Structure 1
Amino acid sequence: MPDPPTPNPLCHTGRVSSKATTRGRPADPTIDERILKAALSLYGQVGWAGFNLDATARRAGVSKTALYRRWPTKEELLLAALERVAEMPPPWLDLDDLPSCLTYAAEQVVDMFIGPKALVLPRVLVESVHYPRWLDEKVQQIVRARFAVVHQVLDAAIERGELPPDVTPELVSDLMIGSVVGRMIRTPGRDRPLTKAERDRQAQDIADHILTVLRRDSSHPVA
C-alpha cells in the first residue's frame, strides 16, 4: 500500500497553515530592553498626556504586536519602565567602604537629574500630583531606591563608630541633591548633554565634598 502524500502546508487559499508558521526566527532578546528604554525616553519628553504605545513602538523599532503582547496598556508599560529608574544598590557594594558608597550614591543622584533619564523623575514628581495613585507610589519607590544606599552606608558607619549618631541620611541626601541642582542652575543653556565621564567627575567631586564635611564635623575621623 503506497504511503499517503505529504500534506502541503499551503491550503487552497494560498495561506500558510498555523502549523507551518510555528517555526521562524528566534525572539530578539533585546526587544524588552529597547521598549523600556524607548518608553522612558518618550515619557521624559512628552509626559503622561503624550505617552502612548504606538509612539513607543516606533521609537523602539519594534512592531506594535510585539509591544502589546508584553504590555497591553500604557499604565503597565510606564510602570515597567519606571522599575528601571528605581533600581536598588548592587549587591557588590561594600557598605564598610564609606567613600566608595558615597561616590556611588552621588552617581545615582547625578544620573537622576542630569543623566540620560534626567527628564523622567521631574515629570513623575509633577504628574504624580494629578494622576492616579499608582504613579505617586512609584515616585516614592524611586526616591527610596535611589537613596537607599545613603541610609544603609550611614547606618553602618554609625553602628561601627565611624560617624557620630547625629549624622542623618536625610541631611546627606539634601547635600547631594542641592549640589547637583546648584550646578544645573549655574550652567544654564548647556548645548550638549554631559558625557558619562563628566557626570562621574561631578559625582566624585560631590562625594569628596560631603566626606570632607562629615570628617570636619565628626569627632571620629573617617578612615
Structure 2
Amino acid sequence: MADATTWHRDLSVDQQLALHTSATRLAEEFTGIYGSETIERFLYTSYDQFASRSTVSNFLPLLAERFARQRLQALARVEGHHRDGKPVVLFLCTHNAGRSQMALGFFQHLAGDRAVAWSGGSEPETEINPSAVAAMAERGIDITGEYPKPWTDEIVRAADVVVTMGCGDACPIFPGTRYEDWDLDDPAGRDLEAVRPIRDELERRVRHLLVEMGVPAR
C-alpha cells in the first residue's frame, strides 16, 4: 500500500504539515487500538471526501481529522474495541445540510451524553442551510459547528438506529440494523418561515425516538 506522501504529492507544505499533526493526534487517541497505517488511511481518504467538492482548502485538514476521528470511533464500536453501552443513532438525508443536521442538533441537545448521534448525506452540500441554522437558533441550539459530510460503511454499521430522510435508494442497508424513514419536506431553498414547521416536526419525532430508545430527554 502506498503511503500518505505518495497518495498526496500535490498537497502544499502547510497542508502536509497540518495532516501530519492530525495523524499524530489521532494516533495518540487510538493508541493500542489502531496503528499508524490505518489512521493515515482513514485520515487521507477523509481528506479526499472533502477536497473533491470544496473550493476552500484552508479548513480541509481540520475537517478531515474530525471525520476520520468519527469513522475510527465507529470502526472501534463495530469491532468491539469501544463498549460504553450508549446507543448510536445515525440521521441521513440527501445533502446533510438541513433535516439531518436539525435532527442531530435536537438529539444531541436532548440526549446529552446518554447517547451518541451522527449524521450524513448521499450528496453532501458544502455548507449547512442558513435557514436551518436560524431555525435551530430560535430554539437555543447552535448547529454552526457541524458540517455536511458523507456516510461510510463503518459509520452505518456502528449505528443501532438509522433514520433516513429522503435519500431513497442511496441510503445504505445493513442486516440487523433498525431503520426508520421520516417523510419530511426538504428545507433546501426555503426561507425561515417555511423551515419552522419542518424543525418542529423533527423535534417531535426526535423526542418520540428518545422515548422508544429509553433515553431520558433533558
Same-fold call, TM cutoff 0.5: no
Max Rg structure: 1
TM-score normalised to structure 1 length: 0.28
TM-score normalised to structure 2 length: 0.29
Decide which structure has greater strand share.
2
Decide which structure has greater helix share.
1
